[in-house]
Structure 1
């Protein structure tokens, strides 16, 4: 049975409209189809909590991690120690007031001498222990050896020889000697000894375990020295290379007696309470010059440094 002409035209028109809509949809590039799809390859057993979430504490996080089957490594907040040297000076020597100034024939000098004899009993016991591990130890020879160690260590410091300095000073003394000297120039010189060095104090303590012995010997040294420190611009900060100064020092030399390959090294200095204060460090500052116009030259001879104006402060 033949279809009427009107219905055929309507069906043809609908078919063409649907084809045109499909073609427009395929040509519409404003919303392209995704070219790839995300695929989860690894499952996360523990998801960290969001920022500013309630109950965000370390205990809750650890409990959630354990529940998820994740075992975190235990952290040990311990301070490492070095057994090659001790951490300080055991029973430090207290120098008598007025040392190197009082004569042994005076009344006060005799009192100091008798007090030193009373306190020398513990030193004699320590010297016996030191001789058990170091058979070549003698008080007279060790005082000269300590002075040589002191001179070599300071020469290595002025020349910035780190390897030699580590072999002459302990790990405790090294940062104290090198702190703040990175951009400075040090000029130090040992002139002469005013008095022969002598051993005034000795201790033989143990650390960590019983039998781990350290020998600490205090040596009195009275000498003439020169010291000058320059900053990184070559300006003098402290001392002078020409002025000689009498220096009285109490050096502490230490050795790990149990270690047969150890050696005597500089461990520190004892500064008495009655010692005079050190010279102040000269602070170098930059003085601003005049503001020059283009084409002008600065004449240093005719320029005067401006003085600060006087200000009246109310009480």
Structure 2
């Protein structure tokens, strides 16, 4: 029975297959074959061109055409540079110290002029203090100057001990390189003796950066104290200052905090040096003086030796 059914259906299958072939031939249906374009280079393989900073291919137009023909898709790459928003890059609206500060009496004529000018400039500071108190409820104009002085003392002690971890927690990223620059092969001896006048808050600003509402608090504290400083070179010779001589120092410290950050802390951001401040003392540099060539068994007599003078050298451009 099965054989008789197969014999009956076999002619029908042949007729249907032949009709389908005739239909394909009449419609001229062709299936697409994979199209491969060989790319030949000197190194026998294709190297995709480099991508620039703005995401554009830095190669020639021929390399771009070869890359497209080979089916290589080059992604647009952008060079991302890290931005540190933990601190600002400078001091906004810096405080201008009055000339003769800590010398003029408040009862003199010039002292009264300075007092009235400070009252006029204090309106903007009061507005900034209100913004700072909204984000830092513990901030007070009476207790903060004492806290700023403690931060200043701890930061300079960490600098003299070269404690980088502690120094980073006490100063901002803008102030750190200014404090450690040039102190690699030197020895610092710094000591805070006493405070001649209680520290006082003289200036406050609350600027925003990048976006509105990203607030940074900057407070300027006036500190008049007595300190000692001595700097030794790598050979242990004194370059500047003295460990026994006390000096009166008048400084204007700028403290900063990222107010929006709940874990932000007040850190030393910089110092304001007035234009009328006296110039710094020159640093004594160590210079090696050539000595005489001694033979074995000879001793150097310091009293009879004369230091040779440098010869005049004619410089030509």
TM-score (norm 1): 0.77
Give the distance between the partners of 1:255 and 1:181, measured in 2 at CA: 27
Q: Give the corresponding residue for 1:182.
A: 184
Q: Give the corresponding residue for 2:67.
A: 66
**Aligned: 1:223 with 2:225:** yes
Give the distance between the partners of 2:150 and 2:246, measured in 1 at CA: 20
Give the distance between the partners of 1:204 and 1:136, measured in 2 at CA: 16
Give the distance between the partners of 2:103 and 2:77, measured in 1 at CA: 57
Contact map agreement 1:123 1:201 (CA 8 A) in 2: yes
User: Displacement of 1:145 after TM fit?
Assistant: 0.5
Give the distance between the partners of 1:259 and 1:169, measured in 2 at CA: 16
Give the distance between the partners of 1:155 and 1:102, measured in 2 at CA: 32
User: Displacement of 1:75 after TM fit?
Assistant: 5.0
User: Displacement of 1:63 after TM fit?
Assistant: 2.8
Gapped runs of 5+ residues in structure 1? 1-41, 49-56
Q: Does the C-alpha gap of structure 1 residues 69 and 97 become closer, same or farther in structure 2, counting only changes over 3 Å?
A: farther
CA-based RMSD: 2.4
Q: Does the C-alpha gap of structure 1 residues 303 and 126 become closer, same or farther in structure 2, counting only changes over 3 Å?
A: same
Q: Give the corresponding residue for 1:23.
A: none
Secondary structure class of the residue paired with 1:139: coil
1:139 to 125, 129, 141: 141
For residues 223-263 of structure 1, what are the alpha-carbon distances to aligned partners after superposition, in whole Å with 9 as ceiling and x for unaligned? 11111111111111111112211111000001111111111
**Aligned: 1:126 with 2:128:** yes
Secondary structure class of the residue paired with 1:120: helix
Q: Does the C-alpha gap of structure 1 residues 231 and 71 become closer, same or farther in structure 2, counting only changes over 3 Å?
A: farther
State how many pairs are aligned. Answer: 264
Contact map agreement 2:48 2:67 (CA 8 A) in 1: no
TM-score (norm 2): 0.77
User: Displacement of 1:304 after TM fit?
Assistant: 3.0
Secondary structure class of the residue paired with 2:142: helix
Q: Give the corresponding residue for 1:238.
A: 240
Contact map agreement 1:46 1:65 (CA 8 A) in 2: no
User: Displacement of 1:46 after TM fit?
Assistant: 3.5
Give the distance between the partners of 1:218 and 1:81, measured in 2 at CA: 25
Written as runs of structure 1 = structure 2, the 5 A alignment for 1:164-179 is 164-179=166-181
Q: Give the corresponding residue for 2:214.
A: 212
For residues 123-173 of structure 1, what are the alpha-carbon distances to aligned partners after superposition, in whole Å with 9 as ceiling and x for unaligned? 000000111111111111000000000000000000011111111111111
